[in-house]
Structure 1
Amino acid sequence: MSAVWTDFTISEKDPRIAICKTCNAEISRGGASAKSFSTSGLIHHLESKHPDRHSEYEKKATQKRKLTPSTPTPSVADVFEKARKFSSDSAKAKGITHKIMEFIALDDQPFSIVEDVGFRRLIDHIEPRYAMPSRRHFSDVCLPELFNIVATHVHKLLASDITAISFTTDIWSSDVSLTSMLSLTAQWIDKDFKLQKILLHSQEFRGSHTAAAISDAFTNMCDTWHIDRSKVHAIVSDNARNMTKAIEDSQLKGIRCMAHTLHLAVNEGVLSQRNVKDILTIGRRIVGHFKHSQLAYSRLQSMQDQLGTQIKRFQQDVRTRWNGTFYMLESLFAQKRVLAAYSADHELPATFTSHQWVLIENILSVLDPFEQLTKEISSFDASVADVIPLIAALKRLLSKEVETDHGVKTIKSTLLESVKRRFTESNDDPLHFIATVLDPRYKDHYLDVGIKQCAREMIQAAMDADNPLGDRPAHSAGGEQSAEKRTRHSALDEGHAPLLSDMFNEILQESAPNNRQPTSSTAQQLDGYLSEVPISRSDDPLAYWRNNHGRFPDLAKMARKYLSAPCTSTDSERLFSAAAHVLDEKRNRLHCDKAEKLLFIKKNLPLYLKK
């Protein structure tokens, strides 16, 4: 507001008139509407009638001009420059285009989004000078450019100091197009003992999925990324014969996916039982009834609300995943009262008997440890070292008799035998039991006596081979033992049903201490390491080696190799979950080469952005 209004007020009768506070004179504001009002007449009145007030006004106006920075009037050239579109090769336009390409790849967006009205309006509002390139420009120019940037970074990672590298692989077929893809994900432990994961390939896999064809694909993948075969530690896959044979033909060490083996054991031990099959058939009919009838589901919601239970849909099972069946039974059992009330007023295609409800509860009790175990082995940092301890704890839990065994004793014993048979090979495999010893959470406490001695000898031989002169300094390992000691209690002593986690404590309590006398520096390392109490299962084993590699240098080197292998092919399966988003209904005609590049960027671009 102008400083002149210190000496004037607006007339209440007529806003076109200003009244002088000094002489009460009425002065016109110079117009008939607010748009045409000015203060020129008011300033002239002060200058002619009240010179002292005019001088005061001039001082205030001058101070205000000094405090308020002047805004230069833009030139005509500046106005035209701001309205002009960026040239396609300008740095600003290239930067925006690059970010849009990242957005498409990271968020599974179709290339057609750059033609959508809403997206174009958004970009035009953010930067009017940006000219949106065509859809084809993004798919044919921007996608290969971004792929090359990320691929260059991946090559640099693979050229770094890698002791050993492990892979997961799987084959996936699209539901919306005639496309099959073969994956290869890689992971290793870097020199800072941090787990690194990348996607190397998700290439189109045409023709018959024979072992020879898969083996050739592995060879091409390794050649493309210049991977030294001598550094390949292991490759994890499912139990399919063609995949197992392909890994053998490629002269690579194969590991069977623990999750897939667990699925086979549960199917054989539980889900294939006649009385369980009957329950699953009824459960699927009930779930299907509510899934396909909106009226039935609305009635169910009303029942849930009346009974004060959580309003929740039933879980549809996936027959290729045992835990999908577990979640279906769990969701049905949680709504037992609701289903009983619903069936009293409305028709259901099938219902459970009281005996079947008891059996469902007991089946859930038997399978709950398997569900816990599946979650553990599917985590980001699960390794092959987890297999033997987890299976040892699981077998011990299944061998215990509890009250909930009523009606499922046969199922439980069959399940135990299936687990023992299917995981026998893992217990005898050096890749598994050496990794277990080198995991500071487990060490050799979960190994059988014969395997324990074999593991010590193999680790000792490997360290001596790398250090033939035995010139490493000996390290004392007694400092941490007293600080690490902790009291462990069996769940059975406390009077509650045993859990999977309780089994680990029982096994550790029974493990006898080692009293061998070390004879060399490497032997001192091994015996010193094994003499210490294992760290908590919730601790990070790689953090342990990061902090203790100076004390046990040869063991730490081996840990980088053996702990690099995952215990499941979950990374490849998650990759194909992403592939299902890339090749969806909106992009079912996307060329496979472009789908591969999009997947590669989606999985590996975050590594490049964090560098």
Structure 2
Amino acid sequence: MKFTKTSGLYSIDGSSTSSVSVIDKAQSSIPTIHILSSPARPVKSTGSAPTYTSVSIKRLLTHEKTRYRVECNPSKRATAPCWKVFGFPAMLSNESENQFEIIPGFASCRSCFETYRYIDSSTANLNSHVCPRIVHPNQQTLTMKSQTPRSTAMCKLLAQRKKEMTNLCARWVADSMRPFSIVGDYGLKEIIDKSVEIGRNLRSIDTNFSVDDILRCDRTVKNEVDRTDRVERERLKGELVGAAQSRCLSISPDIWTDNHRKISYLGATANYVDDKYVYHSIDIFCSEFTHLKKTAKHVTEMLEKQLSVFNLHEVMDKITFVSDRGSNFVSALRNYNVLYCVAHRLNNILKRTFYQGLKKKKKNMTPMKSFTFSTNITQKEGVEDDNDGDSEDSSDEDDDDSVDYTVETIAQLNPTAKQVLNTITHCKSLVKYAKKANLNRQLQMERENQLTAVEDDDEESESTASSNKQNFATTLHQSSISIKNAYASLLVVLRRANQSHRIHNINMDIVEKLIVFLDAWHDVLCELQTGNSPSLFLVLPCITHLRQKLQIGMKREKGGIRFFYKRAYELLNNMFIIENDYVVATFLHPNYRQLRGATPTQVSDCFQTCRAAILPVDRSEDMEVDEGRMDIDICNEPRSKRRKLLMTSLMDKNTINKKRSSDEVDQYSKLQLDMDCVYTDPLDFWKQPQYHRAFPNLARLAKQYFSIPCSSAAVERQFSAAGQIVNQRRSNLDPSTVNNIIFLRSIEKRKRDT
């Protein structure tokens, strides 16, 4: 079993050669929506069939909201900007199941319910719509301008120009081999807007004006990238040094090698919280690793050299580093504040749940590198055939609670546990065969024949093939889901290839139970690897959630699956240590102050750390919280948008405490929040004046802890972007240019996000 890093996310690869791109991904779970065959179809079996118009649909959406609503466009090709505002009008068809049927031929605005005819996929009218209920960023007053409809002649002229532009884009994409998505690129639209503006201004001055007068050569653009890079680095220097001085800066370093010239790069992502309680994540460098050997000494030298560009080499003792447990980084960062990547640790635990090998016989080996993990299960290793186990329930008694599940070897496994490992092996073998035999297209065609309402499979094929670089597409979890969903198609395709034994060897009951087992790990890893908001507070709730899921599985399952639930539970308890930093960060989140899942010792250490950070200042009237005023502020504050959270069951329960608190920690612990105040980002809580004024020391502590990510996923995402920059067509890019592009890309992304 191989540990892979894809697009900044760590995953458990079922095989070093397996890829889920050969099997269709599981379809997203979207509400059941039916398309009416005719707009005149009656709503009920009795009565005359209504004929819908744009005016009547708008009236129904406005006055009969319980029976009519606007559904989002379910098509994956709906990438036009208008679909962020528009959807399809739908009527209630089944009240008991809350099913809605889309009324064909129309598109409605989700805000003002203005409805247009939608025929032949033309979005001209939708794009020209100006919703009076949407406040635009540049709007200064509440006065809404009524939309002035374009004349018929102007509409025809624009349609003609649009057709010409579409033709030019099609020829450009084909001739230069560019992706279709480039026409929606943010930068391309900015260039076209600026070109239109320049042409409008110079049209009456210079009639001989052409594009060559303003478009520069490639060398000039490259030099401008270098110049802009120097300017932006100089501008960012002060922010990073200030954050480091406040201990609100963390850096995630790692090493990456490109696939074309095999050049190694040392990359790093800086995460910090500014004085306005805003979280920032910036790729500060991705420089060529000039040393031949990646020893700890060379890593330290390179890291100090790159940090000196931002004057950070002098304040490295105030920076928190987030790294994996590679021996070179462990040794290089030994003298600094370090937190190790939680995602790496959980993936190692999950790998060891299924596979465990012998210790490496090497000198000077570190505890983190003391085990190897076998990726192949053969008959020599003691794995029996599937027929050796009668059923999953047959050997429930073999799972004695006295067994030490952390040291169990393959030879010691009971038959049902071996059957689970055999199923994993057969799944890996099937995926590997399907990839080599190029069965992906055959599976798509077979699904077209089996399903009556499938969306564009060519598009699904593209997303499936590219999923090898995203999220968990190459994990054992996604492989199991893909096999389950493509099972019927696989039966047909493999029968044609005389390879039916590959699918018949797979026990689908075990596959489904494996999916349930891996769901909790998948959810936790996704939650922990967020990149644009604080994540350190999630460690304690996520580990508690994972333990609860494993305990439920231990009670619910039997046989081999139950064995692996128990093994994973013991490995999690033995290999994962809840650091005090995790507990403090959780306490500083307003919805997790009760620290559910923490031991009394951990809670005590957390409070001691928080109280030690309280400055010895006068705690008279300035430090006291006016409870009556605080209640008013909480009731009047704007409620944050509530979304579904993974760990809501571990959030605090509202309790009433009338006793006056003695210090900031007690006051904060007993603070009463509105029941609807759920903060997905804890900095949204601390940036509110009434809170960071009432708890100034805890607010300062929150900035420090929430600047630390719990995983190194951010720098892995940087490497994913670098892999797209250093591709086959641009393999001759100078490493310094790659470094500049990575940095400027991160700066531009931050500007768009803010």
TM-score between the two structures when normalised by the length of structure 1: 0.68
The answer to whether structure 1 residue 300 and structure 2 residue 443 are counterparts is yes
CA deviations over 1:462-517 (Å, ceiling 9, x no partner): 10xx2344354211457559989xxxxxxxxxxxxxxx9787526756x9998987
Question: Of the two structures, which has the highest relative contact order with CA contacts closer than 8 Å and spacing of 6 or more?
Answer: 2
Alignment of 1:142-541 (within 5 A): 142-158=224-240, 160=242, 163=246, 164-206=248-290, 207-227=292-312, 229=315, 232-248=318-334, 251-270=335-354, 275-294=419-438, 296-308=439-451, 310=454, 311=457, 324-348=475-499, 350-353=501-504, 356-379=507-530, 380-401=532-553, 403=556, 407-424=560-577, 427=578, 429-446=579-596, 447-463=598-614, 466-471=615-620, 472-477=622-627, 480=631, 505=649, 508=652, 518-519=661-662, 521-529=663-671, 539-541=680-682
Give yes or no for contact 1:279–1:352 (8 Å, CA) kept in 2: no
How far, CA to CA, are the matches of 1:187 and 1:255 in structure 2? 14
Report the CA distance between 1:282 and its aligned residue.
2.6
Give yes or no for contact 2:229–2:740 (8 Å, CA) kept in 1: yes
Report the CA distance between 1:128 and its aligned residue.
3.4
Aligned counterpart, 2:732? 589
Report the CA distance between 1:545 and its aligned residue.
0.8
Give yes or no for contact 1:167–1:186 (8 Å, CA) kept in 2: yes
Give yes or no for contact 1:180–1:204 (8 Å, CA) kept in 2: yes
Kindly tell me: are residues 408 and 291 of structure 1, through their superposed partners in 2, closer, same or farther at Cα, counting changes over 3 Å? same
Query: Unmatched 5+ residue regions in structure 2?
Result: 1-181, 189-207, 357-409, 411-417, 636-643
Query: Unmatched 5+ residue regions in structure 1?
Result: 1-102, 110-124, 485-499
Report the CA distance between 1:351 and its aligned residue.
2.0
How far, CA to CA, are the matches of 1:194 and 1:442 in structure 2? 20
Report the CA distance between 1:307 and its aligned residue.
2.0
* Corresponding residue pairs, total: 466
Structure 1 counterpart SS, 2:685: helix
Aligned counterpart, 2:687? 546
How far, CA to CA, are the matches of 1:503 and 1:435 in structure 2? 15
Which amino acid in 1 is paired with 2:301?
D
Aligned counterpart, 2:711? 568
Structure 1 counterpart SS, 2:733: coil
Instruction: Say which structure is richer in helix.
Output: 1
Structure 2 counterpart SS, 1:549: helix
Aligned counterpart, 1:50? none
Kindly tell me: are residues 409 and 440 of structure 1, through their superposed partners in 2, closer, same or farther at Cα, counting changes over 3 Å? same
Report the CA distance between 1:297 and its aligned residue.
4.1
How far, CA to CA, are the matches of 2:320 and 2:235 in structure 1? 23
How far, CA to CA, are the matches of 2:634 and 2:736 in structure 1? 56
Give yes or no for contact 1:187–1:197 (8 Å, CA) kept in 2: yes
Moved more, 175-184 or 273-282: 273-282
Kindly tell me: are residues 144 and 107 of structure 1, through their superposed partners in 2, closer, same or farther at Cα, counting changes over 3 Å? farther
TM-score between the two structures when normalised by the length of structure 2: 0.56
Alignment of 1:59-98 (within 5 A): none
Report the CA distance between 1:382 and its aligned residue.
4.0
Give yes or no for contact 1:475–1:524 (8 Å, CA) kept in 2: no
Kindly tell me: are residues 107 and 610 of structure 1, through their superposed partners in 2, closer, same or farther at Cα, counting changes over 3 Å? closer
Report the CA distance between 1:607 and its aligned residue.
3.8
Kindly tell me: are residues 148 and 434 of structure 1, through their superposed partners in 2, closer, same or farther at Cα, counting changes over 3 Å? same
How far, CA to CA, are the matches of 2:673 and 2:679 in structure 1? 17
Report the CA distance between 1:148 and its aligned residue.
1.5
How far, CA to CA, are the matches of 1:525 and 1:229 in structure 2? 34
Kindly tell me: are residues 126 and 182 of structure 1, through their superposed partners in 2, closer, same or farther at Cα, counting changes over 3 Å? farther
Report the CA distance between 1:285 and its aligned residue.
3.5
Aligned counterpart, 1:98? none
How far, CA to CA, are the matches of 2:305 and 2:580 in structure 1? 28
Between Structure 1 and Structure 2, whose CA radius of gyration is higher? 1
Report the CA distance between 1:583 and its aligned residue.
1.3
CA deviations over 1:211-234 (Å, ceiling 9, x no partner): 111122222233221125277342
Report the CA distance between 1:189 and its aligned residue.
1.2
RMSD over equivalenced CA pairs, Å: 3.7
Which amino acid in 2 is paired with 1:410?
F
CA deviations over 1:539-591 (Å, ceiling 9, x no partner): 32111111221222221111111111011111100000011112111121222
